[in-house]
Structure 1
Amino acid sequence: MPLIDMPMEQLLQYEGTNPRPDDFDAYWESALAEMKSIAAHVELVPASFQVPYATCYELYFTGVRGARIHAKYVRPTHVTGKHPAVIQFHGYSGQSGDWHDKLSLAFMGYSVLAMDCRGQGGRSEDTGGVKGNTLNGHIIRGLDDQPDQLLFRHIFLDAAQLAGIALELPEVDPERVYAMGASQGGALTIACAALEPRIAKLAPVYPFLSDYKRVWQMDLAKDAYQELRSYFRSFDPQHKREDEVFTKLGYIDLQYLAHRIRGQVLFAVGLMDTICPPSTQFAIYNKITAPKRLEIYPDFGHEDLPGFRDMAIQFFHNDSLE
């Protein structure tokens, strides 16, 4: 089998390369306290798109730093009593997608919430206000400011806050709230379940935003990680601040949040992924202590993984990972 990364036996033992800030846990406890102090002011606006068996809403809430965050919300109308919900997260620079791709879950009796990441392709606000470069790249947004100004800190909190809103919806069974997504969506699935551990099940696919220094060492700071190279070329061309930069990025390195997950995890990885290298994903997977199952696609990269979405729906629908 061709390799673009470590052999499988090493991947299964790999514990990551990027430095972890000494105050990482305190950083995230402070972030969660800020999130919980905010009045969300949830607003549901009936959407122009509707179907006979579900009601579609534009959902808005106030996140950290005052940003109004948007999500699509689809609620089934043909079921009685409390029912499960799935939270969906989209890829980097994208948005929550069309309504139609949420309808199969709604027809099955699930509510579906799909968030627009702030400052990307959807309706959520990016309230900005940081020192340093803002031309390109959300990974490096706030890197030259205080650590609590990192943009992905705020996006991770948006994901957790939306999960908390879903858990409190009167029609939703709080014991059956799930999360899923691929690439950045896989990253936010991990962040959501780590920062809101009541998420019962999650199905991340080749998650982004992990083990940044490993990406750099593999010379794969391109495509989704291009901004790492751009940052060094513009602001630290001799890498005199390399340790400082990667340590600060450690605050938004998902491998160090993974141990907080309590729900069951169905995790998919393609071993030919040159966008989010397999080792960066295994750095997350190997730190998950909750019940978990790994689905490996040896010949696939950062692309559709045949059969996995069906697998994920069955996982949500059944009682266990088996």
Structure 2
Amino acid sequence: MPLVDMPLEKLKEYQGKNPRPEDFDEYWERALAERKAVDAQMELVPSSFQTPQADCFDLYFTGVRGARIHAKYIRPKNVQEPHPAIVQFHGYSSHAGDWLGKLAYASLGFSVLSMDCRGQGGSSEDTGGVKGTTHRGHIVRGLDDKPDNLLFRHIFLDAAQLAGIAMELPEVDPEQVYAIGGSQGGALTIACAALEPRVKKLAPVYPFLCDYKRVWEMDLAQGSYEELRTFFRHFDPLHEREDEIFEKLGYIDLQHLANRIRGEVLMFVGLMDRTCPPSTQFAAYNKITTPKQVVVYPDFGHENLPGASDRTIQFLLQ
């Protein structure tokens, strides 16, 4: 069969190329301490969209650096409490999506919290100098600053904070909080469960933000990763800082956080994926030490994977 990347047997052994900074663990412990010091000021506002089966709310909380983060919250009616909850994350530059897409989970007895990533297509703020949004460029945002100011650091912390908020809701069983998402959402699913290890199950679909150097060496810094190429062209055209840049990106490389996960994992990968190359995804998957399973689609790329949603819900219902 045609190959975009390594043969599957090699993918299952691949350990990644992007360097892991020596102070990586201290970096994330410091980040988590900053998050815990924030007063979340969580607020629930009833939405104008309501259904007979579920109550719908706009949920707001304050994340690190003062950003006000928005999530859609759907709480099923007539369901035994406490009940399980799903935290859901969207693709790069998108948003939490319509209410309708979350009602299937609510009909099965799950509360759903679906986050708008700060500074992207939804209602969450990016407080990096101005109120409002930045939309894209988030991988490289902060590369010319201290590592503590990388924007995806803050977004990873938002994801974990949302899971923690879910666990504190009186209607939610904190022992049954799960994380799902595809592409950037898959990356944030991993980040969420790594930084909030009480997440019991996670189902990432072709996760983004893994093994940046491998993406670069495969000449696939395009589409969602195009900003890597743009950054070099504008700010390091001779690649004199290449080692420094990839090492700094290592702080927000999901492969280095994956071993913190304590929940059970069901991951989905398309072997023809040119947006998030399979080897980059396996770099993270191979470092997960908890019970895990990967579902491989040999002929599919970064697109809808037939049956993945059904398999995910069965996994969460087990």
TM range (shorter): over 0.9
Aligned ranges 1:39-58 → 2 under 5 Å: 39-58=39-58
Q: Which runs of 5+ in 2 are unaligned?
A: none
1:22 equivalent to 2:19? Answer no
Contact 2:271 2:278 in 1 (8 A): yes
Contact 2:119 2:135 in 1 (8 A): no
State the shift of 1:80 in Å: 2.2
Aligned ranges 1:32-43 → 2 under 5 Å: 32-43=32-43
Q: CA RMSD in A?
A: 1.0
TM-score (normalizing by structure 1): 0.97
| Residues 258-305 of structure 1 deviation map (CA, whole Å, 9 limit, x = unaligned) | 000000000000000000000000000000001100100000000000
Contact 2:93 2:135 in 1 (8 A): no
Match of 2:269 in 1: 269
What secondary structure does 1:18 align onto?
Answer: coil
Measure, in 1, the Cα distance between the counterparts of 2:10 and 2:222: 24
- What code does the residue aligned with 1:150 have? L
1:229 equivalent to 2:209? Answer no
- What code does the residue aligned with 1:62 have? T
Match of 2:247 in 1: 247
State the shift of 1:9 in Å: 1.3
State the shift of 1:53 in Å: 1.2
State the shift of 1:136 in Å: 5.0
Percent identity between the aligned chains?
72
Match of 1:294 in 2: 294
Measure, in 2, the Cα distance between the counterparts of 1:105 and 1:237: 48
| Residues 217-245 of structure 1 deviation map (CA, whole Å, 9 limit, x = unaligned) | 00000000000000000000010100000
State the shift of 1:8 in Å: 1.1
Aligned ranges 1:90-101 → 2 under 5 Å: 90-101=90-101
Match of 1:64 in 2: 64
Match of 1:198 in 2: 198
Measure, in 2, the Cα distance between the counterparts of 1:314 and 1:78: 22
Measure, in 1, the Cα distance between the counterparts of 2:143 and 2:4: 29
Q: Which runs of 4+ in 1 moved over 2 A?
A: none
Match of 1:112 in 2: 112
Inter-CA distance 36–186: structure 2 relative to 1 (3 Å threshold): same
Q: Which runs of 5+ in 1 are unaligned?
A: none
Match of 2:87 in 1: 87
Match of 2:5 in 1: 5
Inter-CA distance 315–136: structure 2 relative to 1 (3 Å threshold): closer
| Residues 22-48 of structure 1 deviation map (CA, whole Å, 9 limit, x = unaligned) | 000000000000000000000000000
Measure, in 2, the Cα distance between the counterparts of 1:200 and 1:212: 28
Stretch deviating more after TM superposition (149-158 or 72-81): 72-81
State the shift of 1:78 in Å: 1.5
State the number of aligned residues. Answer: 315
